[in-house]
Amino acid sequence: MEAGLLLQYLIVALAVLASAWVVLKKQFPGTVRKARGALALSLLRSGQPGWRQSLGRRIAPPASGGAGACGGCDSCGPTPPKAH
């Protein structure tokens, strides 16, 4: 296979993956949060190498004070008006 064609396929694959991630985060925030938590917990187990634990801390979803109705971003409701 030609190197240029392989590079093109890699770029398209990365664009598709990035697009799918954005759609998942927008449409299924609770599911993404649970998946990130499960992956982070598996990486943070004791006995794992330091780089895996560091990766697990970066992957872990941010702590939320209260759970929203959907388990998502907790930004439900109307947005406040912008000041001019």
Q: What is the pLDDT of residue 69?
A: 57
- Whether 82 maps to a domain, the answer reads no
Residue 68 within any structural domain of the chain: no
What pLDDT is stored for residue 72 in this prediction? Answer: 58
- Residue 26 within any structural domain of the chain: yes
Is 76 part of a structural domain of the chain? Answer: no
Lowest mean pLDDT among 26-35, 56-65, 67-76: 67-76
Count structural domains, the chain. 1
Q: Is residue 79, in this structure, part of any structural domain at all? A: no
Say if pTM beats, i.e. exceeds, 0.95.
no
Domain residues for the domain of 43 are: 3-59
Question: How high is the pLDDT of residue 1?
Answer: 65
Query: pLDDT band for position 23 (50/70/90)?
Result: very high
Give the separation between CA 29 and CA 17, rounded to whole angstroms.
Answer: 17
CA 7 → CA 17, 29, 79, 81, distances in Å?
15, 32, 42, 46
Domain contains 74: no
